[in-house]
Amino acid sequence: MNNGKKILFIGSMGAGKTTAISSISDDPPVTTEAMNSARHISDKQTTTVAMDFGRIYLDQFDAIDLYGIPGQDHFDFLWPILEKGALGAIFLLDCSQGDIPETLDRFCNAFARLRDNNAIVIALNRTDQHSVQRCQQWLFDNNLTLPLILSDPRERTDVLMLLELLIANVEAELFSAGETQ
């Protein structure tokens, strides 16, 4: 049934990773939620402590596995484990929390293989004009051309669009890599 396509959802605590996976997963998602004791960082009641897992079926034979990372820094030991074999990542960024360039730096460096393969789509939520400009500036400063999209992780159509965009980008990269070889 599943040929092993794996997509990651990355980003800080409260960015909407668990919500995004729940929005599109065809199977009931597996979540690992615990009581959130860091309420000064994010006011939500629970937080992911190991991973989220969902699956979306493309057709009778093909599916994509959706993995969400735990976003807090002390769980960074899990990030390389979850990243193994991933085709790409949807990077959810809540622009109302934290320092935007620092968050972009942190996650793009932690998932450097995906960043270098142009296999990350940055999905912004809770944005304003200023925050979008800061993201664009950060991409420019870092000489990156990752797609930057406004989206709502609660909206299935928004998340599906991100997924399609990511897969199209990954396929284009693979195609161009094949061309140059």
Q: Which residues bind other proteins (CB under 8 A)?
A: 30-41, 47-50, 70, 72-75, 77-78
Closest CB to other proteins among residues 78, 132:
78
Q: In the complex with other proteins, which residue's Cβ is closer, 42 or 151?
A: 42
* Minimum distance from residue 81 beta carbon to other proteins (Å): 10
Least Cβ distance, residue 30 to other proteins (angstroms): 5
In the complex, the smallest distance separating the C-beta of residue 112 from other proteins, rounded to whole angstroms, is 21
Smallest gap from Cβ 152 to other proteins, in A, equals 25
User: Considering beta carbons, is residue 26 or 171 the nearer one to other proteins?
Assistant: 26
* Cβ-based nearer residue to other proteins, 98 or 147: 98
DSSP string, the chain: ----EEEEEE-STTSSHHHHHHHH-SSPPB--EEE---TTT---SEEESS-EEEEEESSSS-EEEEEE---SGGGGGGHHHHHTT--EEEEEEETTSS-HHHHHHHHHHHTHHHHHTT-EEEEEES--HHHHHHHHHHHHHTT----EEE--TT-HHHHHHHHHHHHHHHHHHHHHHHHH-
